[in-house]
Amino acid sequence: MKTDNIGSTDTKNNFVNTKTFIEITVVGKDKKGIVADITKYIFKNGGNIEKINQNVIKGLFGMHLEASFQKIDIFKMREELVALSAELKMEIKVHFYDENKIKNVALFVSKEDHCLLKILDSVSKGEIVSNISMIIGSEEKLKHIADSYSIPFFYVDHVNQNEAENKILQLVDKFDIDLIVLARYMRILSPNFVWRYPNRIINIHPSLLPAFPGALAYVQAYERGAKIIGCTAHFVTEDLDQGPIIIQESFKVLPDDTLEIIKNKGRSAESTALLEAVKLFLNNKLEVYWGKVNYKL
């Protein structure tokens, strides 16, 4: 997010004078004192901690902190957090949140185009207001769609998952992305990636979670004889297909429905659910509390 567009700023002193919310993410090798050092910095600068969450998986530490400030020097804070990052030998990123800003969105895709086309069509019609800043593909198949909308497309080879995610992280940083949308992106993101964007990655899963996790959800539902099938738009967490649910769509399975008919119905439901979830996020209508999504009035 461009810091010179946040709130009302005293250009002489670089101060934001309206109440400003920030997100800080910390990722690195687990060690003692990290939480204390970060919270001490927030309090020293007159901040109030709104939310804090941390986790450790296989020695990898991740923390997400939200804080509010009545008055901050945003450029100074960025410089100080860079210095603190070097001192602690942890990756620290800060994201300044402004409800009035038109958000930058990155769409992640693989081979299927139905969710991608639904979102791009909605943006082109002015139904949702956002900057579709880039499209990242684990395949090159959908590049022509990005080209037709004059959106930068980046193919990222996933032979090495760590290298792929590092390249994607650089792109997300470069384009100052506020929301990542997994529009049938058939890759699993590691905790190392997900922790950097808490409640800022939305996925569409082809089942009514928590039932039928995994990639072959429609096949499982068909083989089990499910009478109602659907899809789930949810925030992504380090726990696969277990993130907070935003929107669910369902449809009845008719006696003569083949697997292909079910898949076609599912694609339509996926596009609808994902678009609605994106709209809610862009309109600042979503809040996650204790792992559950609440809708703001």
Residues with active-site annotation: 241
CA distance 198 to 186: 20
For 253: left if phi > 0, alpha if psi spans -120 to 50, otherwise beta; the answer is: beta
Phi and psi angles of residue 64, each rounded to the nearest 5 degrees, phi first: -125, 125
Question: What is the residue type of 114?
Answer: H
Range 178-181 contact pairs with CB under 8 angstroms and sequence separation of 24 or more: 178/1, 178/95, 178/101, 178/103, 178/104, 178/105, 179/103, 179/104, 179/105, 179/106, 179/130, 179/278, 179/281, 179/282, 180/105, 180/106, 180/108, 181/105, 181/106, 181/107, 181/108, 181/119, 181/274, 181/278
Q: Beta partners for 97? A: 21
Give the CA angle between residues 235, 290, 190 to the nearest 5°: 40
CA distance 64 to 49: 11
For 49: left if phi > 0, alpha if psi spans -120 to 50, otherwise beta; the answer is: beta
CA 195: distance to chain centroid? 10
- The DSSP element (H or E) to which 20 belongs, if any, is strand 20-29
Helix 114-124 crosses helix 259-282 at what angle (to 10 degrees)? Answer: 40
